[in-house]
Chain A
Amino acid sequence: MHLFTQVVITGLLSGAVLSLIGIGFTLVLGVARIANFAHGGFVGLGMYAAYWGQREYDISPYVLVPVALVVLIVVGWAVADLFEWRGSRTGEIGELLVGLSLLLLIDGALELKFGTEPKTLVTNALGSVGVAGLRISGSELLAAAMALAVGVLLFAFIRYSRWGRALSAVAQNPEAAGLYGVPVPFARRASVILSIVIAGLTGLIIAPFSIATPDAGATFLISAFAVVILGGVGNTLGALVAGLMIGLVEAIAAGYLPQEWAPLAPLAIILTYLLIRPVKGVA
């Protein structure tokens, strides 16, 4: 058996999923300064949409991507408005409560529609490759590629493009950015929409190799926080690396550490990093 190779591969693949979830979360936290608690809920929605599409209409999750894109932009727009509306009246607490309410609403709606039994898809639409005694599905490779592309492209966009630098300016000092002509409300709205689109599409892409439960949103939220802590607020490249690192450490710990210690390994890494890292803002 190839235990080490297997845990490294499975760790990197599960880490890529954590990265994808973390990238959207860190973007909206960095630019709009909103801790969108509903972020994981949108990942869960994407997973159930994939399940529903295949079970009810025998549609592959990948075929749903264009439709999902349009729906997510519309939903993202509405959610951004909701954040703006509550934020302008009750500040950050109001925004937090909007996110939390949306998370509970999504979890409850999913439970009502699909029940509490975990749901899983069995599809081999993208084929698979064999490595070290493992079959790696095309869906997993697609998720890893998507994480890599989204993380790097967003980082490059924020760092090097005019619009990206405007987003960065909003993240660092919204008032000053506004005085320099940056449309701050638009930038905040764009970051919320983009993060929700990434979250929803992540759910669709990972559905074929994941287990969906109505409370998955809360689990993903915790993962997203871990990625942001390790990768830095607003740093999409940091989120990519952090997600991969957490996935890898979790997998190696599960494979080699005594069972009592394995769950603590990623937390130990995060704690150590928090103690030694410099404070970083948006990339």
Chain B
Amino acid sequence: MRPVTIIASITTCACISMTAACGSNGSGGGSGGSGSVKVGVVTDLSGSQSAIGTDELRGAQLAAEEINAAGGIKGLKGKKIDLKSYDTQTSPDHAVTAANAAVSDGVSAIVGGLTSDEVLAGTNVSHRAHIPWISAASSEEITGRGFDDVFQDLPTTAQAAQNYFKAIEFVAQSLDLGNKPTASVAVSDSTYGKGIEEEFSKANSGGSFDVKDEVSYPPTTTNLSSVVAKTLSKSPQMLINLGYPADGIAIQKLLATKFEYKPKVYFAVSDVATALEQLGSKANGMIIPSGPTTDFKNAPARFLDETKKYTAKHGGDAMPQYAVVGYVEMMMVAAALEDSGTTDGASVAKALHGISLDESKGNLYPSQPLAFNDKGQLTDPPQYFVQIENSKPVPVYPSDIAAAEPVPYK
């Protein structure tokens, strides 16, 4: 075949493909046939975050099954949710491919995505097609670009840092550490760690804590002994780690096994399940952010019900945090579809700005109804804190969910 013929053939094929693709995207979202409405779960089903990405998908599936079993979306004449999943492979590049596939399939909304880089990349695609996307990734930039169809349903970095500050302040008061308790802060020298530290420092601008030392360490540090030695050298009442979950666990291991000096409080941005799996009883005393658990005082009945359904289907003894996230995201989309009465993406995005998701509509968190502000962030993002005691997470903050008072780190 002559080169000119080959080029002409390729060009023709490309034009046909583009026309077909434009045809399926043109409405900016749509229904998957007369009886269903397509919703995409674009998340990490393989790669480093696949465990929690799978949890998120399972949570969304549980919600979709319930909506369909209850007669579908009433505002759309009972159309059923047709859930479609797309794997980002925990990579921004694949997130773009997955987002393109979802848009081509004509989804009315997208939920999912755990790392900020992939959500930033993927939402560039969905925004062009006017498809709303709700994600749990934390970067401020996700909703800071002025896209009116991008939403965050967990605390952003700034919101989380402010919550950490309030939680630590509460714990210090509960333990009666004095007017201005002393603290040392170990910070991961990464964009993430620095971002949290900056917001944390802003929250502490009133001087609630007397920060004796702030030690920064490269994210590649494999041995944090010297960092811990330095943070403890001024005998702080509190040790605060603002870094990745693995850092918090590594520091806890050192505190529990290597250093004789113990602060009264050790707070780490870590993960409860991993800390318990890795350290067992050596994790005792840590204070960690957490998702909802059945041990919460006044845990919502709906959360307890859904936990039973989830564990009956997938095993385990709890509904993982990101399964709750996936469930709530799907319920948010369902509420917006009901309110908008259309499968058009732009209209669904507009409706999302006005939703108020209470327990009856699918909010599993023990908090006020979930609602988005103008930027697309939650006005009162759910965040809870537990202390590991006797190898179990005990809810300690906020007080409306606390099952016990915090105890001094030993």
Contact A259 B216 (CB under 8 A): yes
Contact A263 B246 (CB under 8 A): no
Taking the complex as formed, is A219 at the interface, i.e. its CB lies under 8 A from any CB of chain B? Answer: yes
Give the chain B neighbours of A263 by CB distance below 8 A.
Answer: 218
Give the chain B neighbours of A260 by CB distance below 8 A.
Answer: 216
Taking the complex as formed, is B223 at the interface, i.e. its CB lies under 8 A from any CB of chain A? Answer: yes
Report the separation of the CA atoms of residues A119 and B280 in the bound assembly, to the nearest whole angstrom.
Answer: 12
Contact B226 A7 (CB under 8 A): yes
Contact A3 B249 (CB under 8 A): no
A135 touches which one: B232, B260, B274, B282 (CB < 8 A)? Answer: B260
Residues facing B in A121-145 (CB within 8 A) are 122, 124, 128, 130, 133-137
Contact B233 A119 (CB under 8 A): no
Taking the complex as formed, is A118 at the interface, i.e. its CB lies under 8 A from any CB of chain B? Answer: yes
Contact A120 B222 (CB under 8 A): no
Give the chain B neighbours of A122 by CB distance below 8 A.
Answer: 253, 257, 278-280, 282
B257 touches which one: A13, A137, A213, A251 (CB < 8 A)? Answer: A137
B214 (CB) vs chain A CBs: closest residue: A259
B223 (CB) vs chain A CBs: closest residue: A14
Contact B261 A251 (CB under 8 A): no
| A203-218 contact mask (Cβ, 8 Å, vs B): 1 or 0 | 0000000110100100
Report the separation of the CA atoms of residues A115 and B258 in the bound assembly, to the nearest whole angstrom.
Answer: 27
Report the separation of the CA atoms of residues A161 and B77 in the bound assembly, to the nearest whole angstrom.
Answer: 89
Decide: A134 near B260, CB < 8 A? Known: A115-B51, A120-B250. yes
Contact A219 B222 (CB under 8 A): yes
Taking the complex as formed, is B215 at the interface, i.e. its CB lies under 8 A from any CB of chain A? Answer: yes
B234 touches which one: A1, A254, A255 (CB < 8 A)? Answer: A1
B215 (CB) vs chain A CBs: closest residue: A259
Number of interface residues of B (CB under 8 A): 34
Contact A7 B229 (CB under 8 A): yes
Decide: A255 near B226, CB < 8 A? Known: A116-B48, A118-B249. yes
Contact A11 B246 (CB under 8 A): no
Contact B229 A259 (CB under 8 A): no
Taking the complex as formed, is B127 at the interface, i.e. its CB lies under 8 A from any CB of chain A? Answer: no
Contact A118 B233 (CB under 8 A): no
Contact A254 B227 (CB under 8 A): yes
Report the separation of the CA atoms of residues A13 and B223 in the bound assembly, to the nearest whole angstrom.
Answer: 10
Give the chain B neighbours of A14 by CB distance below 8 A.
Answer: 223, 225
Contact A133 B217 (CB under 8 A): no
B217 (CB) vs chain A CBs: closest residue: A254
Taking the complex as formed, is A95 at the interface, i.e. its CB lies under 8 A from any CB of chain B? Answer: no
Give the chain B neighbours of A136 by CB distance below 8 A.
Answer: 258
Contact A120 B253 (CB under 8 A): yes
Contact A1 B235 (CB under 8 A): yes
Contact A120 B279 (CB under 8 A): yes
Taking the complex as formed, is A117 at the interface, i.e. its CB lies under 8 A from any CB of chain B? Answer: yes
Taking the complex as formed, is A168 at the interface, i.e. its CB lies under 8 A from any CB of chain B? Answer: no
Contact B226 A11 (CB under 8 A): yes
B281 (CB) vs chain A CBs: closest residue: A122
Decide: A211 near B250, CB < 8 A? Known: A219-B222, A251-B226. yes
Report the separation of the CA atoms of residues A130 and B257 in the bound assembly, to the nearest whole angstrom.
Answer: 11
Name the residue in B217, B223, B227, B246 with the highest tally of chain A Cβ atoms < 10 Å from its Cβ.
B223
Taking the complex as formed, is B389 at the interface, i.e. its CB lies under 8 A from any CB of chain A? Answer: no
Give the chain A neighbours of B218 by CB distance below 8 A.
Answer: 263
Taking the complex as formed, is A6 at the interface, i.e. its CB lies under 8 A from any CB of chain B? Answer: yes
B261 (CB) vs chain A CBs: closest residue: A133
Taking the complex as formed, is A107 at the interface, i.e. its CB lies under 8 A from any CB of chain B? Answer: no
Nearest CB in chain A: distance from B239 CB, A: 13
B278 touches which one: A119, A137, A219, A250 (CB < 8 A)? Answer: A119
Contact A250 B226 (CB under 8 A): yes
Give the chain B neighbours of A6 by CB distance below 8 A.
Answer: 229, 233
Taking the complex as formed, is B220 at the interface, i.e. its CB lies under 8 A from any CB of chain A? Answer: yes
Contact A134 B257 (CB under 8 A): no
Taking the complex as formed, is B359 at the interface, i.e. its CB lies under 8 A from any CB of chain A? Answer: no
Decide: A117 near B246, CB < 8 A? Known: A130-B260, A134-B259. yes
A223 (CB) vs chain B CBs: closest residue: B222
Give the chain A neighbours of B274 by CB distance below 8 A.
Answer: 117
Name the residue in B229, B233, B260 with the highest tally of chain A Cβ atoms < 10 Å from its Cβ.
B229
Give the chain B neighbours of A259 by CB distance below 8 A.
Answer: 189, 214-217
Taking the complex as formed, is A19 at the interface, i.e. its CB lies under 8 A from any CB of chain B? Answer: no
Give the chain B neighbours of A111 by CB distance below 8 A.
Answer: 48
Taking the complex as formed, is B264 at the interface, i.e. its CB lies under 8 A from any CB of chain A? Answer: no
Residues facing B in A250-270 (CB within 8 A) are 250-252, 254-255, 259-260, 263
Decide: A133 near B260, CB < 8 A? Known: A1-B234, A1-B235, A120-B279. yes
Report the separation of the CA atoms of residues A222 and B48 in the bound assembly, to the nearest whole angstrom.
Answer: 23
A135 (CB) vs chain B CBs: closest residue: B258
Give the chain B neighbours of A130 by CB distance below 8 A.
Answer: 260
Contact A135 B229 (CB under 8 A): no
Residues facing A in B225-266 (CB within 8 A) are 225-227, 229-230, 232-235, 246, 249-250, 253, 257-261
- Please list the residues of chain B having a beta carbon within 8 angstroms of any beta carbon in chain A: 48, 51, 189, 214-218, 220, 222-223, 225-227, 229-230, 232-235, 246, 249-250, 253, 257-261, 274, 278-280, 282
**What 16 additional pairs, Cβ within 8 angstroms, besides A1-B232, A122-B280, A254-B227?**
A1-B234, A1-B235, A10-B229, A17-B223, A115-B51, A117-B274, A130-B260, A133-B261, A134-B260, A211-B222, A211-B249, A254-B215, A254-B230, A255-B226, A259-B189, A259-B216
- Please list the residues of chain A having a beta carbon within 8 angstroms of any beta carbon in chain B: 1, 3, 6-7, 10-11, 13-14, 17, 111, 115-120, 122, 124, 128, 130, 133-137, 210-211, 213, 216, 219, 250-252, 254-255, 259-260, 263
- Write 17 A-B pairs (CB below 8 A) sorted by A numbering: A1-B232, A1-B234, A118-B249, A119-B278, A120-B250, A122-B278, A133-B260, A134-B260, A210-B222, A211-B222, A211-B249, A250-B226, A251-B225, A251-B226, A254-B215, A254-B230, A255-B226
